Structure 1
Amino acid sequence: MDLVHHIAHTGWVTLFDVLPIAAILLFFQVFVLRRVPPKPKRIAVGFGYVVVGLTLFLVGLEMALFPLGKTMAEQLTAPQFLGGDALLGKVNWLDYMWVYIFAASIGFATTVAEPALIAVALKAEQISGGAIHARGLRLAVALGVAVGVSLGSYRIVSGTPLHWYIIVGYIVVIIQTAWASKFIVALAYDSGGVTTSTVTVPVVTALGLGLASTIPGRSPLLDGFGLIAFASLFPIMAVLAYANLAEWLLRRKVAKDQTGEKDKNYEPQTDNGTR
């Protein structure tokens, strides 16, 4: 009964959270555009699906993902598992290698499965006429998130200030932006936004809070948050790097083809005076 009551309460709260969105869309459709929404019954059913889906998703987060993230963080940071200085109550960032590996792995896996990223990647491939490959874009973003979440986990372990990482990261992004092609810049910046969506945010947040709760001397409030910033920043860097590398390889291929064509058309001069 407690579970049923919890689901009902979450559904009621979710309904009131979604209602303003529906009200704004309906207002502009009826009073600004002055048109009746097409297929209103279908829209109403879809709205119900949204409420039910969000309700079950939120309940699932509370029952599974957040506890699982905390449990994994507790197990990976247990002194008995770490050994070394951890048995003496000291924090040595070298003892937490499995934490960094797990953070990178979970960041990569959740990003590859991110529905928002899949949609953006497919649309980018469609609009670019195949110049941008959806799979390559998804892998580049996922690698960026993996590196970002792993580095963010190191920040929690070491207790270093968050703002230094963000400042240096955006300096790198600005430099990359200056050298990148204009058509990829906006997509790269949007890629940082789509990663912090339905799947990635809950898992990464649970990991950060779990690490900050179990590592000695760390505060969940001060150190537990911030992984999402890494998960948003590093995909931008990864996509810009991917674009720069792809453009460099393309220029190299074109130059090589042109050189080969010149060598093919070259005919050595013959001396007409010698027979």
Structure 2
Amino acid sequence: MNEKLKEKVQESLSSVLPITVIVLIISITLVPLEIGTLALFLTGAVLLIIGMGFFQLGAEVAMTPLGQGVGSKLMTSHHILLIALVCFLMGAIITISEPDLQVLADQVAAIPNEVLIWTVAVGVGIFTTVAVLRILFHIPLPTMLTICYIALFLLSFFTPSDFVAVAFDSGGVTTGPMTVPFIMALGVGLSAARSDRDGANDSFGLIALCSVGPIMMVLLLGIFYHPTEAVYETVTITPISTTYDVVRQFTSAIPQYAEEVLVSILPVAGVFLLFQLFTRYYRKRQVLRMSVGFLYTYIGLVLFLTGVNVGFAPVGSLLGEGLAQGSLKWSLIPLGVIIGYYIVRAEPAVQVLNEQVEELTGGTISHKMMNAALSIGVACAVAVAMLRVITGISIYLVLIPGYAISLILSRLVPTVFVGIAYDSGGVASGPMTSTFLLPLAIGACTALGGNVVTDAFGIVALVALAPLLAIQIMGLLYVRHLKAHPQPSEPISDDTVIELEEE
């Protein structure tokens, strides 16, 4: 376990380090920061690295086996209502513990945290059920996605504009390091019990549909919920004179987040206990291992949220305000390109996805090609997001064409690529997007006097959109390769090759 923890901390270091270096360079060249503020940021970065390491290991050890166990048991049941109820409860309960969602909720001043979190949790629960029923009833994923996204955009026209960007952001943040391992494992557990040729392909796509639920529910919230107008003010950081002041800032915040995390993670632990009591699915050694995993998840989540809210996000907001001054504001676009490029390359989950696609295509689409495509896609997405902050152009001008193209592509590429593409949207919009890019955009928008909820929010949604286009374009290239070379080496499987050649 210790070696595994070391590996996860190293992965977290590779994720946080590029952003830390970029911030240091900006603080030296463009936006000077006080030494105390910089000390807060660096301390927050350290807590973020350690917290993410603990959290990712805990989620892997506890969430993945729990998801596979629930999925395989559900397939033995012939009661559709029971399956639907269990999937709804599991999707909702897991989402409540999602750290990226809690970070987003802290940024949305117009809606109380509890209201937003529970709204999103219900959405994930509903669409977890929809995603599982799709697998059971063999409904094509492209058809489901087309119907869902047409419904989303139609619904968004009846929703106040202040809610639209937040709604699409919520779809990206909910598929984070807590939710993804469980839902992916649930899909593997469900599809593994099927013997048909589409079983493996159907293990992809759950994340895609679970991302739809939060968007739809927040759009509905915007129609029926009327919050008081929120005012986003300039971020102020408590003056730091000594290293003791830095330590005191973090230690005073830990009890609050420890209590919040305990409340959010207890329901998940309760589900695990009830599942084990009723099914006796896990052996004693695995129960002990998963219990340690829950402890690691708790410790990691407390450190993660403390580091983000005390040191990391406030400095991101301050940098955004500094960069928005005068003609310097246009530097946000090239900086967005650089940050976007390195953020997605550093995400550990993205590297796992890239290896999966390389194996799936027998090396035709290499790990290196995937890295390049995703990095360029996300870099462009962040640049467009920063352009929106500066100019205030509507998010519809980006989302509607982007999703229209991605839905058209979903009809032209093999189904398995559609599932991977839409799943990867949630993977790409990882912790760094909500903890640094969003505060950076909010800080810049505040300094420019723009509308934060319409101009700054939406950055997570754009980052989540980029892989949809990048990976499906890769899918088109793969289909062309198959047509040019009818006998590729090391194909996915005979059935899958037949299916790809037919398409």
Q: TM-score, normalised by structure 1?
A: 0.77
Question: Is the 8 Å Cα contact of residues 144 and 236 (structure 1) preserved in structure 2?
Answer: no
Q: Which amino acid aligns with 2:279?
A: V
Question: 1:23 and 1:129 mapped to 2: Cα distance?
Answer: 41
Return the match for 1:203 from 408, 429, 436: 436
Q: Give, in angstroms, the shift of residue 138 of structure 1.
A: 3.1
Question: 1:37 and 1:126 mapped to 2: Cα distance?
Answer: 34
Return the match for 2:415 from 176, 182, 186: 182
Q: Give, in angstroms, the shift of residue 220 of structure 1.
A: 2.0
Question: Is the 8 Å Cα contact of residues 354 and 367 (structure 2) preserved in structure 1?
Answer: yes
Q: Give, in angstroms, the shift of residue 124 of structure 1.
A: 3.2
Q: Which amino acid aligns with 1:149?
A: V
CA separation of 1:2 and 1:183: change in aligned 2, threshold 3 A: closer
Question: 2:475 and 2:411 mapped to 1: Cα distance?
Answer: 13
Give ranges in structure 1 of 5+ residues lacking alignment.
83-95, 256-275
Return the match for 2:332 from 99, 103, 107: 99
Q: Give, in angstroms, the shift of residue 251 of structure 1.
A: 4.9
Residue of structure 2 in register with 1:149 after alignment: 382
The alignment status of 1:223 with 2:455, answered yes or no, reads: yes
The alignment status of 1:108 with 2:341, answered yes or no, reads: yes
- After superposition, residues 119-268 of structure 1 pair within 5 angstroms as 119-216=352-449, 218-248=450-480, 251=483, 254=485
Question: 1:170 and 1:236 mapped to 2: Cα distance?
Answer: 8
Question: Is the 8 Å Cα contact of residues 250 and 306 (structure 2) preserved in structure 1?
Answer: no
Question: Is the 8 Å Cα contact of residues 121 and 137 (structure 1) preserved in structure 2?
Answer: yes
CA separation of 1:148 and 1:27: change in aligned 2, threshold 3 A: same
Question: Is the 8 Å Cα contact of residues 99 and 153 (structure 1) preserved in structure 2?
Answer: yes
Question: Is the 8 Å Cα contact of residues 250 and 310 (structure 2) preserved in structure 1?
Answer: no
Q: Which amino acid aligns with 1:238?
A: A
Q: Give, in angstroms, the shift of residue 208 of structure 1.
A: 1.9
The alignment status of 1:26 with 2:26, answered yes or no, reads: no
Q: Give, in angstroms, the shift of residue 70 of structure 1.
A: 1.4
Q: Secondary structure at the match of 2:457?
A: coil
Residue of structure 2 in register with 1:14 after alignment: 261
Residue of structure 2 in register with 1:59 after alignment: 306
Question: Is the 8 Å Cα contact of residues 212 and 220 (structure 1) preserved in structure 2?
Answer: yes
Q: Which amino acid aligns with 2:373?
A: A
Q: Secondary structure at the match of 2:430?
A: coil
The alignment status of 1:69 with 2:316, answered yes or no, reads: yes
Q: Secondary structure at the match of 1:191?
A: helix
Question: Is the 8 Å Cα contact of residues 377 and 470 (structure 2) preserved in structure 1?
Answer: yes
Q: TM-score, normalised by structure 2?
A: 0.44
CA separation of 1:244 and 1:49: change in aligned 2, threshold 3 A: same
Question: Is the 8 Å Cα contact of residues 209 and 220 (structure 1) preserved in structure 2?
Answer: yes
Question: 2:299 and 2:367 mapped to 1: Cα distance?
Answer: 30
Question: 1:51 and 1:176 mapped to 2: Cα distance?
Answer: 40
Q: How many residue pairs align between the two structures?
A: 239
Question: Is the 8 Å Cα contact of residues 313 and 435 (structure 2) preserved in structure 1?
Answer: yes
Bigger Cα displacement from structure 2, 97-106 vs 195-204: 195-204
CA separation of 1:42 and 1:35: change in aligned 2, threshold 3 A: closer
Q: Give, in angstroms, the shift of residue 244 of structure 1.
A: 2.3
Bigger Cα displacement from structure 2, 220-229 vs 175-184: 175-184
CA separation of 1:28 and 1:126: change in aligned 2, threshold 3 A: farther
Q: Which deviations, in whole Å up to 9, do the C-alpha atoms of 1:152-194 show, x marking residues without a partner?
A: 1111211122123211111111222222233322111111111
CA separation of 1:155 and 1:37: change in aligned 2, threshold 3 A: farther
CA separation of 1:250 and 1:69: change in aligned 2, threshold 3 A: farther
CA separation of 1:245 and 1:124: change in aligned 2, threshold 3 A: closer
Q: Which deviations, in whole Å up to 9, do the C-alpha atoms of 1:14-69 show, x marking residues without a partner?
A: 12212222222332233135554543333222222111111111111123321222
Question: 1:26 and 1:167 mapped to 2: Cα distance?
Answer: 44
- Structure (1 or 2) with the larger CA radius of gyration: 1
Give ranges in structure 2 of 5+ residues lacking alignment.
1-247, 487-503
CA separation of 1:160 and 1:37: change in aligned 2, threshold 3 A: farther
Residue of structure 2 in register with 1:258 after alignment: none
Question: 2:372 and 2:274 mapped to 1: Cα distance?
Answer: 40
